Amino acid sequence: MPDSTIPVVLSIAGSDSGAGAGIQADLKTFAALGVYGTTAITAITAQNTLGVQDWQEVSPDLIVAQIRAVASDMRPKAVKTGMLGGPETVRTVAREIRDLGLENLVVDPVMKAKGGKDLLLQEAYEVMVKELFPLARVVTPNLDEASELVGYDVKDLSQIKEAAKAIQTMGPAAVVIKGGHSQGQPNDLLYNGSEFFEYPGKRIDTPHSHGTGCTFASAVAAGLAKGMKVREAVFRAKEFTTRAVKHGLPLGGGHGPVNHFPDLLKQKMPEE
């Protein structure tokens, strides 16, 4: 198999018909950051800026076929998982990543859509933690997902640090707890098993932030595919995602998507 001059990244996630999050956001992130995006679609969602109306899982056999088609021909240098849906999908994805020896796995533990609809079935939580987390180089929960994983509300910095330690013991090499859902500034925290690294942010007053989590995790995967260390990949992902949110697109009647190409899709933004 010839080496590619451009790093390949595989996104294993759900499709967003409104193209603000999911596979579509992942591909836009990869393109913007100079890596080649490939996909294995786990679920089809019917959604727009107002929320998710419905979704349906792709069969495990077809998920396997997609992953193997990519891995056998365009060996990915990093993998990102997003919406996985049910326990059999989680189990299937974990098995394929493990058996194929795919590296630099970034797990975005997508549990709910922005509107609150469940995107990971309750019975899949334990499977994800048991089988997928130990394969991950980085796991990227937001505050709500971190709270779900550890079983208590995660709000202030001391709780975030405690939760990061707890999640890291579940198997991933590193954990980034994202602060976008906090009441204060959207500061992120990385824990690598021995050290904490803080990534301060500035709150952007916009409703157009759909796809933020997918974009961040995909940007981390892109950085790892380029050979960055986790700490640098997270830093670059934070910068990229912040810029995408700052220039979010006022589309639809709800939460518009972040803008992965602000220089291409120019919007008149209010003065800072």
Q: Tell me: the pLDDT tens digits for 153-207? A: 998 899 999 999 999 999 999 999 998 655 667 789 999 999 999 998 788 989 9
CA dist 12 and 141 (Å) reads: 16
CATH architecture of the domain with residue range 8-246: 3-Layer(aba) Sandwich (3.40)
Q: Is 102 helix (H, G, I), strand (E, B) or coil?
A: coil
Q: Which residues contact 212 (CB under 8 A, 6 or more apart)?
A: 180, 241, 244, 245, 258
Find the mean pLDDT for residues 120-126: 79
Q: What is the pLDDT of residues 220-255, one digit of tens each?
A: 999 999 999 999 999 999 999 999 999 999 999 999
Task: Look at residues 89, 76, 78 and name the one whose alpha carbon lies nearest to residue 43.
Answer: 89
**What percent of the chain clears pLDDT 90, i.e. is strictly above it?**
79
Instruction: Give residue 254's Cα distance to chain centre.
Output: 21
The per-residue pLDDT for 104 is: 98
